Chain A
Amino acid sequence: QKEVEQDPGPLSVPEGAIVSLNCTYSNSAFQYFMWYRQYSRKGPELLMYTYSSGNKEDGRFTAQVDKSSKYISLFIRDSQPSDSATYLCAMSVGAGGTSYGKLTFGQGTILTVHP
């Protein structure tokens, strides 16, 4: 079983839809949760960052972390064609020890928002 599971999709939605992207994980030591967006032929770009459980909102994006269920989500409101990309969840245990600086990524979900 992978440490982080993410449905690769692909996911296709109409413009204006609410998009829900999810990851589950098995390592209860994860404390930091990130969402990266990667456009085709580009490097990943950090979208959202959450420490421990809770919600975080930034414009049209909302990140949720439920540590009790080992489940994280990214919601995109009023989706736009420019949101079409691969979305990667990533997690880490934090500083110190042998995992110093190591992110564990999900497989990535390919999202297409069509006009």
Chain B
Amino acid sequence: DTEVTQTPKHLVMGMTNKKSLKCEQHMGHRAMYWYKQKAKKPPELMFVYSYEKLSINESVPSRFSPECPNSSLLNLHLHALQPEDSALYLCASSLLGGRGLNEQFFGPGTRLTVL
């Protein structure tokens, strides 16, 4: 299995809602990532988990809360988002160590719209 899956594919939420994005991989990767991508822009790193521990937080607002319950799953909890948070949210995973860190496998993304 060489796939990263993300659910849901699309999500529309109001500014007072709480929702979660889910990411799953079964490639044995121990590094997992959340990226945000706006239209016609490159992905922007949000969080990195290695061995289920948060290793990088790119100064992301607290309305985004990541969680890594086990080595295959990554969640992103959303609360009190703003319309400017509307974007494609991408999950990625990779092996840890040397070359592996750079071969990141991306999921198809969740397209989020905040009303």
Interface residues of chain A, those whose CB is within 8 Å of chain B, are 8, 32, 34, 36, 41-46, 49, 51, 88, 90, 92, 94-95, 98, 100-103, 105-108, 110
B45 at the interface (CB under 8 A from A): yes
Nearest CB of chain A from residue B40's CB, rounded to whole Å: 7
Tell me which of A44, A92, A94 contacts B106 (CB under 8 A): A44
Please give, as numbers and ranges, the residues of chain A lying within 8 Å of B111 by CB-CB distance: 41
Other than A44-B90, A45-B106, A101-B94, give 18 A-B pairs with Cβ distance below 8 A.
A32-B99, A36-B106, A42-B108, A43-B109, A44-B43, A46-B103, A46-B104, A88-B43, A92-B102, A94-B102, A100-B56, A101-B31, A101-B48, A101-B56, A102-B45, A102-B56, A107-B41, A108-B42
Please give, as numbers and ranges, the residues of chain B lying within 8 Å of A88 by CB-CB distance: 42-43
A100 touches B45 (CB 8 A): no
Number of A-B pairs, beta carbon distance below 8 Å? 69
In the bound complex, how far is the Cα of B109 from the Cα of A108, in angstroms? 17
Tell me which of B94, B103, B108 contacts A43 (CB under 8 A): B108
Chain B contact-residue range equals 20 to 34
In the bound complex, how far is the Cα of B104 from the Cα of A87, in angstroms? 15
Please give, as numbers and ranges, the residues of chain A lying within 8 Å of B50 by CB-CB distance: 100-101
B55 at the interface (CB under 8 A from A): yes
